[in-house]
Amino acid sequence: MSGSNELSRRDFIKVTTGIVGGLIGVAIGLPTISYLIDPALQEGGKDVWVSIGKFEDMQVGIPYPFSFTRVQVNGWERTSNSFGGYALRKSDDPKDLLILNSRCTHLACTVNWSEEAQGYLCPCHDAKFSIEGEVLDGPPPRPLDVYTDFRLTEDGLIEIFSKAG
C-alpha cells in the first residue's frame, strides 16, 4: 500500500478531484464567458440607403431638415432610434450638397437650426455651430458630422447612406 512510488488513496482522491473539477470548470466556464459577452458581439442592423427628401424641395442656402428612424433588434425587443440632420443645398448641382448630422458632437443632444442665430444651437450646453457645421461656441470638440455618401435617385429623391446601428 505505501510503496514510495505509489499514490496514497488520499492523494489519488486529491489529484482526481483537482482534474475533474478543473475539467468541469473549463467545460462550463468558457461557454459562460461567451454567454455573458454575447450581446457585445452581435452585429447591429444593416447598412441601407435612406431617403431624406426631394432635391427640388431643398432651397439653395437654407438648411432643409430631415429625420428618419431605424429599428434595431436588442435582445427580444426592437428599439427604434431616431436620426436627423439638415441638408444644405448650395447650387443646382445635386452633388453640391452639405448634409449634416444633427447629433451634437459634444454629448449627442440634437441641434436645431435657428434662423435668428443663423446657426445650429444645441439645447444641452449651449453650443453653437455655423451653417457649415463648424463649432462657433460651446464645448463640442469637433464640427458636426457630415453624411458624405449621398445620391440623387431617378425620382428626384436624395438618399443618404446610413451605417448600421
Partner 1 sequence: MWKKVYEWLDERLGLNDMYTNLLDRPEPTGNWWNTLGSASLFLFVMQGLTGIFLTVYYTPSPDHAYDSVQYIMEGVAFGWLIRGIHHWGATLMVIVVFIHMLRVFFTASFKYPRELTWLIGIGLLLMTLGMGFTGYLLPWNQRAFWATTVGTQIAGSVPFVGEFILKALRGGPDLSALTLQRFFSAHIWMLPAMLAGLIGVHLFLIIKHGESHFPTKED
Report the candidate in 93, 109, 15, 84 with the shortest Cα–Cα distance to residue 60.
Answer: 93
Q: Which amino acid type is present at position 116?
A: E
Q: Give the number of other CB atoms < 10 A from CB of residue 142.
A: 10
C-alpha cell of residue 18: 483537482
Q: Does 70 bind ligand FES (CB under 6 A)?
A: no
User: Smallest distance, Å, CB 88 to ligand FES?
Assistant: 20
CA-based max dimension of the chain? 98
**Rounded-to-integer distance, Cα 94 and Cα 97, Å:** 6
Q: Does 127 bind ligand FES (CB under 6 A)?
A: yes
Residue found under cell 468558457: 30
Q: Does 143 bind ligand FES (CB under 6 A)?
A: no
Q: For partner 1, give the closer residue by CB, 38 or 154.
A: 38
Q: What residues from 28 to 57 belong to the interface with partner 1 (CB under 8 A)?
A: 28, 31-32, 34-36, 38-39, 41
What residue ranges bind partner 1 (CB under 8 A)?
A: 10, 28, 31-32, 34-36, 38-39, 41, 75-77
What residue ranges bind ligand FES (CB under 6 A)?
A: 104, 106-107, 109, 122, 124-125, 127, 138-140
